[in-house]
Amino acid sequence: MQDDAQLGSPAPPERAPDPPLRRELRSWTRDLAVALGLAIVIMIFLYQPVKVEGTSMNPLLSDQERIFINKFIYRFEPIERGDVIVFWYPLDRSKSFIKRVVGLPGESVEIRAGNVFVNGRELPDQYVPSGYLDGSNYAARRLPQDEYFVMGDHRDSSNDSRVFGSVPRQFIYGKAVFAYWPVNHFGSLTSTSTVSAASR
């Protein structure tokens, strides 16, 4: 009696398992590629490197310093007094400026001999060393809704709201959050302490 069962193809020889070191390297390479991909996405869509030009934010920021700004933070939280913001220059939207928020929408801002008063009360200038103050005056003015009064920390060398007026909310596109160059300034930029952002 003829056996009509057919023999299957011979099974391929089993592949020798990768050495542990090769598996480890492959895992590290994959993880590194994922991390780099995420970093690129974050850099493109969340943070933006900018170069500071000018000295009006001394001593916090110096001329030619490199920082990161967060472009989306103000979609989730309000702009606060003391924030260092980047915005389109109201008189020429082809330029970007970086300043500190001093007055909020609806507040009255006045400057007497270099001292800032908000709603009639003197604003402590913990950001401004005494040698950086000036003796300027600015008549009391109430800010419109959705507009902010901004000033440089180096008051006697700053082109700010005393000159060009308050900044509309829609002109503000980022908050300074981190300095990365030069290395001696490396670190977070908090309220207390590449498009070119001019600070002149």
Q: Where are the domains of the chain?
A: 48-106+144-198
The pair phi, psi for residue 61, each rounded to 5°, is -130, 140
Residue 35 pLDDT more than 60?
A: yes
Q: Of all residues in the chain, what percent are helix, strand and coil, respectively (each to 5)?
A: 20, 30, 45
Residue 152 pLDDT more than 80?
A: yes
Q: 9, 27, 56, 158: which is the annotated catalytic residue?
A: 56
- Kindly state the percentage of the chain with pLDDT values over 90: 57
Q: 9, 95, 99, 157: which is the annotated catalytic residue?
A: 99
Told to judge if 99 belongs to the known catalytic residues of this protein, a careful annotator would answer yes
Q: Which two tokens stand for residue 164?
A: 């060009």
State the chain's mean pLDDT as an integer: 86
The pTM assigned to this predicted structure is: 0.77
pLDDT tens-digit map of 57-76: 999 999 999 999 999 999 99
Told to judge if 62 belongs to the known catalytic residues of this protein, a careful annotator would answer no
pLDDT tens-digit map of 72-115: 999 999 999 999 999 999 999 999 999 999 999 999 999 999 99
More confident residue, 15 or 194: 15
The pair phi, psi for residue 38, each rounded to 5°, is -65, -40
Q: Which long-range contacts (CB under 8 A, 24 or more apart) does 36-44 make?
A: none
- Alpha carbons 167 and 37: distance in angstroms, whole number: 36
Domain 48-106+144-198: state its class: mainly beta
